[in-house]
Amino acid sequence: MPGISTPSSIMQVHTFHKHNIFPLAMATSPPEFQVLIGVYYRFQTCMFVSYGSTLRRAFPHVAIGAGAHFAMSLIDEVVIGIKDLKHTELLAAYVVAVTKERVEGCGNHTMIVSLHNPSIAEVGGGQPSYLVPPQQVLTHVPPSTIRRWEESFASRWAPRQIGLISELIEEELATDDTRPLTSQKSEPKP
């Protein structure tokens, strides 16, 4: 990537794509695949996503695969509820589980990997703060935890969601009872 100060790990990804992926774009029917890449370099984290022969930076979140569009719309709805890493991991599992349930072609095992940012160390006494690398750059949610969460989504979350929607419908209809029903007629166009 000429003109851009780029860490060697990103350059390795770029070089791999340049030699192995970009040439496939010339094919009449190039194979379709997507890769999500997380990078930690010099106290910074970033994500890259590969769609076929293209490689771009992804921020603040991204989904790949057959259910990417559905998953991104769901992420946009629940992202406001993210408080910390544990909440983020649980919401990620939920988004993936719902996507696998609703989108044909999605499935198989779920892997949740968290890429950690550095923290700020406050020295005090007028001294400047500084960045401290994370104890672990990557952590994984154990597959057994993901399976337990997915079972809970199906057995506990789904019925409660349906119940909440029914309750909200009843509340809305109860407030609508005070308004007189009027029929709407279409006015003929001149």
pLDDT in tens, the chain (190 residues): 444 445 676 777 778 878 877 777 777 777 777 888 888 888 888 888 887 667 888 888 888 888 999 999 998 888 776 778 898 899 999 999 999 999 998 888 888 999 888 888 888 888 889 899 899 989 999 999 999 999 999 899 888 988 999 999 999 998 876 556 565 666 666 6
Tally the domains of the chain: 1
* Residue 182 domain flag: no
**Which residue segment(s) compose the domain that 18 sits in?**
1-59
* Residue 42 domain flag: yes
55's enclosing H/E stretch is strand 54-58
The two tokens of residue 24 are 């496939």
* Residue 144 domain flag: no
* Residue 156 domain flag: no
Is it true that the peptide bond before 133 is cis, omega within 30 degrees of 0?
A: no
* Residue 36 domain flag: yes
* Residue 43 domain flag: yes
* Residue 69 domain flag: no
For residue 16, the model assigns a pLDDT of 80
